[in-house]
Amino acid sequence: MTEQPEGGARLIGRLYRTARWRNLRTAQLTREPLCRLCDYAGDVVAATVCDHVTPHRGDEALFWAGPFQSLCADCHSRHKQREEHGRPTLTFAADGWPIT
């Protein structure tokens, strides 16, 4: 896993508190109100997290670039846990097909 530059975590924490992020998050959750991973599994669960499909790892340009997906908190936690431990994760497009 790539380390964040010193102070990177603080910078990213600040970015999550900006109006720009809140607006982006709201737009994503409005566009895709259901958890993408639950929806693919046939479950209807409201999404609460705007997830970065491409991990930004503290890179501000990647933080804003997207793409984004809507997830429930449980799927987001599981997805990120797998990613942080170097295990493959599956991400699905809005049509249900895996994104490789």
pLDDT of residue 7: 58
pLDDT of residue 1: 43
The CA dihedral of 32, 37, 42, 44, to the nearest 10 degrees, is -50
Question: What are the pLDDT tens digits along the chain (100 aa)?
Answer: 444 455 567 888 899 999 999 999 999 999 999 999 999 889 999 999 999 988 888 899 999 999 999 999 999 998 777 776 777 666 667 677 776 5
What are the domain boundaries of the chain? Answer: 8-93
Identify the DSSP state of 93. -
| Half-sphere exposure for 61 (CA within 13 Å, toward CB) | 0
pLDDT of residue 91: 67
Residue 22: what residue type?
A: R
